[in-house]
Amino acid sequence: MPDRPYLSARLRGFGTTIFAEMSALAAETGAINLGQGFPDVDGPRAVADAAIAAIRGGQNQYPPGPGILDLRRAIADHQRRFWGIQVDPEREILVTAGATEALTAALLALCEPDDEVLALEPTYDSYRAAASMAGARLVPVSLRPPGYVLDADSLRRAVTVRTRLVLLNSPHNPTGAVLSRRELEAIAEVCVERDLLVVTDEVYEHMVYEGEHIPISTLPGMAERTVTISSAGKTFSFTGWKIGWATGPAALVDAVRTAKQFLTYVSGAPFQPAIAVGLRLADTYFEELRSDLAHKRDVLCNGLESAGFEVYRPAGTYFVTAGIRRLTDEDGDTFCRHLPARCGVVAVPTSVFYEHPTDGRDAIRFTFCKRIEVLEDAAHRLKALA
């Protein structure tokens, strides 16, 4: 009898996510939780007030399937304002239950059984499970440390007759790498040549500290084959609201909507108008979010360096990957499990983002989306390791 007799073969090998496990460990031990990526302060007051007003104002029933029109218009304005992308709010935008649902719905909608999905590795954990639920197979394309640069030839070599799409993530979790124009052009070339679709996860689009965020859909030949996904969770520090969106050509968005409607149908009625308010905030909001996180990144990275970690200073996201070889012979998983007792800090092993857990065993991931005093305290505690 298998260990988990009721779990379908498609989900075999998937357990409770390490993030939940490590958050539970933090709660149990009272350690500072730099494992899971959620901020420890709420997002903008005006956005929270808009959600409260929407609840009081009676926006509590099923919203329209694609999302309320005002939010879709705000998403279209946001895409134009920041990235120069034109999308039609009527046909080219779908509001989802976070980026997670958009990603899963996209893979369910676009893949046939046994299709292959190329994804950058290390890989955000929901991608492999989503591919598996769609009956597809995730094929990793390595971003190699220390620079986490994409080798375009390895991407090209990974394409087979079964490849359906490339699942991108930039800015990239867990490495913090931001794909450069040159890397994106190389990906675009392969996609056009082999007629592949692209699903691109850009939830950290406003968290870039070096270089620039370039949506791949802005490259020649890409708009017509790309579904772009983002989320309010990261940009507005309301990760629990689960408002995300997918944008792209009407035919692709229609496919994603078809899958989405049978996953959740709709979600987050009163949060949708609130996120429309958020997306219309002045440029200063987005600039301050970025500069605040850039400072936090430096505080944590400096602390990690003083503690003896080898730090890959991220160009984007709110995560930093740190090599542990100067500190221990243990693998990252064991090291993370001992970390709360050793110094009262929780991190997650980078190995969980790899197909083969022996890869990535030399590094662990920390988040810096916490209050500055929390990061300073963590940096101080981590010194005990040096």
Asked if residue 316 binds ligand PLP (CB under 6 A), the reply is no
* 231 scored as a contact of ligand PLP (CB under 6 A): yes
Minimum distance of ligand PLP from residue 328's CB (angstroms): 26
99 binds ligand PLP per the rule CB under 6 A: yes
Q: How far apart are CA 12 and CA 323, in angstroms?
A: 30
The residues with which 320 forms a beta bridge, in sequence order, are: 366
Helix (H, G, I), strand (E, B) or coil at 65: coil
Window 31-50: residues binding ligand PLP (CB under 6 A): 37
Cβ within 8 Å of residue 315, ≥6 positions away = 171, 176, 177, 178, 208, 209, 210, 211
Total residues at interface with ligand PLP (CB under 6 A): 14
Q: Which is nearer to ligand PLP, 163 or 367 (CB)?
A: 367
C-alpha dihedral over 367, 293, 150, 103, to 10 degrees?
Answer: 70
Nearer to ligand PLP, 318 or 335 (CB): 318
Cβ pair 196, 190 in contact under 8 A: yes
The single residue among 33, 79, 100, 350 that binds ligand PLP, judged by CB under 6 A, is 100
Options 67, 140, 176, 244; binder of ligand PLP; rule CB under 6 A: 244
Only segment of 92-100, 269-277, 292-300, 344-352 that touches ligand PLP (CB under 6 A): 92-100
CB 372 within 8 A of CB 295: yes
Axis-axis angle for helices 332-343, 18-29 (nearest 10): 20
Judged by CB under 6 A, the chain residues 269 through 298 that form the site for ligand PLP are none
Q: Which helix (H) or strand (E) holds 167?
A: strand 163-169
State the minimum distance, in angstroms, from the CB of residue 235 to ligand PLP: 10
Closest distance of CB 313 from ligand PLP, Å: 18
Residue 68, amino acid: I
Q: Which of 48, 51, 54, 124 binds ligand PLP (CB under 6 A)?
A: 124
Q: Which residues pair with 321 in a beta bridge?
A: 312, 365
Q: Is 123 in the site for ligand PLP (CB under 6 A)?
A: no
Specify the stretch interacting with ligand PLP by CB under 6 A; choose among 23-31, 94-102, 293-301, 357-365.
Answer: 94-102
Judge contact between 173 and 202, C-beta under 8 A: no
Q: Which residues would be at the binding site for ligand PLP (CB under 6 A)?
A: 37, 98-100, 124, 169, 173, 201, 203, 231, 233, 239, 242, 244
